[in-house]
Structures are given as structure tokens and as C-alpha cells.
Amino acid sequence: MIRVVLPAHLRTLARVNGEVELQVEGAVTQRAVLDALEARYPVLRGTIRGHDGGPRRAFVRFYACEQDLSHEPPDDPLPAAVAAGTEPYLIVGAMAGG
């Protein structure tokens, strides 16, 4: 299972507590994880990336394993620890706005 951590506002919007666990078929990429997330929680469509699957909203960042993956190609594989479920994939509202 892929573990995903949402920012607080999106947890409220999706009505979830804590981490989200997702089953991802095939290669575990950022696109595949976001596709699975939006399929489970359609209310999140448009809040992380464009409705058509991209691009990432400017003040949303993607982290995992202490790396900033925000600018990585969406179809690149995520770190093995994320694919194995030992590390979460973090969706973060960027620090901005004071």
C-alpha cells in the first residue's frame, strides 16, 4: 500500500484523518499515486494539480524520503521506500503568505 499524507485543508475537504493508504497498480509514479488519490477522493480533483492531470498547482509541493520531488517528471518511479509503503508520499501546502 502507498501511504499518502495530505495537508490539513485537503484532509478536511476529503474528510479523512491521518494518512491515506492507496493501492496503486503498475509502476508507482507521482502520476499514478495522484490518479489513485483522485479516484478515491474526487473532491480533490483540481486542488493539487489541474483537472486534466496536471500541472501541479504552484503552491503545492511533493516530498518523499527527505527529497523535494515537486519538479521531477510525473512518470518517474517514486523511491522504493514509498513503493514499499515504508515511507509516505507527502503532499504539502508550501510555506507562503506570511
Supply the minimum distance, in Å, between the C-beta of residue 93 and another protein. Answer: 4
* Cβ proximity of 30 and 14 under 8 Å: no
Total residues contacting another protein by CB under 8 A comes to 17
Applying CB under 8 A, among 1, 59, 67, 84 the residue interacting with another protein is 59
Does residue 11 belong to the site contacting another protein (CB under 8 A)?
Answer: no
Closest residue by Cα to residue 21 from 7, 31, 9, 6: 6
Binding mask 69-98 for another protein (x = CB under 8 A): ------------------------xx-xx-
* Choice between 10 and 34, CB closer to another protein: 10
- Listing DSSP states for 63-98 in one string gives EETTEE-TTS-TTSBPPHHHHTTSSPEEEEE-S---
